Amino acid sequence: GAGVSQSPSNKVTEKGKDVELRCDPISGHTALYWYRQSLGQGLEFLIYFQGNSAPDKSGLPSDRFSAERTGGSVSTLTIQRTQQEDSAVYLCASSSRRGGGLANPGGYNEQFFGPGTRLTVL
């Protein structure tokens, strides 16, 4: 079956413009994650969606960043008033089960990653 898809694969924008990045998770996966990969910061968690629960936004670096997940499937990450430090590869991942943790053993949820969107802010 199809894996996680992301679009666009590359985006070049000017400082101050808004951008939208799209993620289409694996069909049936209830959990969706956004990560950012940059030279200076490595791989960082941004936001997590699980079903209809309130998203975990704890990784968003500023209020210029927001994300939505419509109908429990496709997600859009929006960056407003882009800055040069936003340049990075934005990776989306999805998984089939929730959480896990010692309080929820067996919540096995391997994350499958999409190809990423390379964002360059000039």
Q: Determine how many CB atoms are found less than 10 A away from the CB of residue 106.
A: 6
14/54 with CB nearer another protein: 54
**Span from 15-23, 65-73, 76-84, 102-110 in contact with another protein (CB under 8 A):** 102-110
- Tell me: cis bond preceding 8? Omega within 30 of 0 counts: yes
Interface with another protein includes 112 (CB under 8 A)?
yes
57/81 with CB nearer another protein: 57
Strand partners, 113: 93
Interface with another protein includes 26 (CB under 8 A)?
no
Read off the amino acid at residue 49.
F
CA nearest to 68, candidates 58, 78, 80: 78
CA nearest to 60, candidates 76, 72, 77, 74: 77
Residues 35-64: x where in contact with another protein by CB under 8 A, - otherwise, as a string: x------xxxx--x-x-----x-xx-----
Read off the amino acid at residue 47.
I
Among 88, 91, 119, 121, binds another protein (CB under 8 A): 91
The residue ranges that bind another protein (CB under 8 A) are: 33, 35, 42-45, 48, 50, 56, 58-59, 91, 93, 99-105, 107-108, 110-116
